[in-house]
Amino acid sequence: MDMETGLTHTSTTTVTEKDLAANIGSGDLNVWGTPAMTALMENAAMLAVASRLPEGSTTVGGYISTSHIRPTGPGKTVSATAVLLKEEGRKLTFSVSAQDEAGLIGEGEHIRFIIDRKKFMDRL
């Protein structure tokens, strides 16, 4: 596969009650939970390369390392951006970041692997 570095996607959502740390179980405050931030980062990475994959393929997350440096409350708009840094066979490495209206709230590195959907699901 020959993915071009620099492929980018930004996913955006609004923080809802289900996304709050107190409701996810990752904390006890009514702020955007780190698991919700991480999921949005993964979504951005998945979508950054989705249109370039062979038919029958998708990507799955294999590793993510992030900081979550500032809280965001309910009703705020948040976005996550993923940028493809390198491709090593089936392994894709992304830079990821999240932001709200006030600026950066988290950043890190995410690795995804290109897989065949059917073969992967047959392993269940």
**∠ CA 67-80-12 to the nearest 5 degrees?**
140
Q: What is the dihedral of CA 111, 113, 114, 119, to 10 degrees?
A: -160
Catalytic residues: 34, 42, 68
Tokens representing 38 are 């991480």
Contact 43, 80 (CB under 8 A): yes
Q: For residue 32, give the DSSP letter.
A: B
Q: For residue 118, give the DSSP letter.
A: H
